[in-house]
């Protein structure tokens, strides 16, 4: 179990707040006591608190591709990474770790957003494409590894976290205090995603892929199929 977090603005003149992202990761530090890592580039920041399981020595995140234009923070486990890796190596991709995480990076290079369809496992991920200036979020087909996000209209920020507390450091008080969905909770015993009990905070539905480009345009792909 790892804790991932991120923030991005669709305004290129805005620089990601390093201290804020560190505080976001500190809020979920219990998810990853072994390591921490950060990536910052202009309006985007990605962070992780890592619980080391596979490749303890070289598995430091964020993980990147050969020219560092793709950056990834990842929580979970990819069960078929040993099958995918030789396929990607045969296509010319160069690996620098033995982690399942790096397989995702090179699969994205090869297949784009469709790479998520090839993954079998439990995962929550946030991937930044420097060339496309886009942020890709995805969760596994059963939603075992959650991702929450909050869109702040003022400042055009998107906040992402493996747990809700990571998103609650700076956004408006409404995101923290307006409990809008009690009827659903009492009727069903839970809040169906993408809604959460907090009015302004959403949760990726199981098998959902969510992308934000550099202009702030959002797209949500179809739920992942089973393979």
Residues 53, 26 contacting (CB under 8 angstroms):
no
Provide Rg for the chain, Cα atoms.
17
Q: How many CB atoms lie within 10 A of CB 161?
A: 28
- Cα separation, 99 vs 56, in Å, equals 9
Residues 123, 74 contacting (CB under 8 angstroms):
yes
Residues 37, 62 contacting (CB under 8 angstroms):
yes
- Cα separation, 80 vs 65, in Å, equals 19
Instruction: Identify the active-site residue in 2, 25, 167, 208.
Output: 2
Nearest one of 67, 106, 56 to 86, comparing CA atoms:
106
* 2 is a catalytic site residue: yes
Q: What is the set of active-site residues?
A: 2
């Amino acid at each position: 179990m790892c804790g991932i977090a991120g923030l991005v603005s669709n305004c290129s003149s805005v620089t990601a707040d390093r201290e804020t992202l560190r505080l976001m990761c500190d809020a979920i530090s219990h998810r990853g006591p072994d390591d921490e890592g950060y990536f910052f580039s202009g309006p985007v920041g990605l962070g992780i608190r890592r619980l080391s399981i596979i490749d303890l020595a070289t598995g430091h995140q964020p993980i990147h591709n050969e020219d560092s234009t793709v950056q990834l923070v990842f929580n979970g486990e990819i069960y078929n990474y040993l099958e995918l890796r030789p396929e990607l190596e045969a296509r010319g991709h160069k690996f620098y770790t033995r982690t399942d995480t790096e397989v995702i990076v090179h699969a994205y290079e090869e297949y784009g957003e469709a790479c998520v369809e090839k993954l079998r496992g439990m995962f929550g991920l946030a991937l930044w494409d420097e060339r496309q200036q886009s942020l890709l979020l995805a969760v596994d087909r059963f939603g075992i590894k959650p991702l929450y996000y909050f869109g702040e209209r003022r400042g055009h920020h998107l906040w992402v976290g493996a747990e809700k507390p990571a998103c609650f450091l700076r956004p408006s008080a409404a995101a923290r205090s307006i409990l809008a969905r009690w009827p659903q909770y009492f009727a069903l015993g839970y809040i169906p995603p993408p809604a959460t009990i907090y009015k302004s905070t959403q949760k990726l539905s199981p098998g959902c892929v969510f992308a934000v480009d550099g202009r702030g345009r959002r797209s949500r792909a179809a739920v992942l199929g089973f393979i």
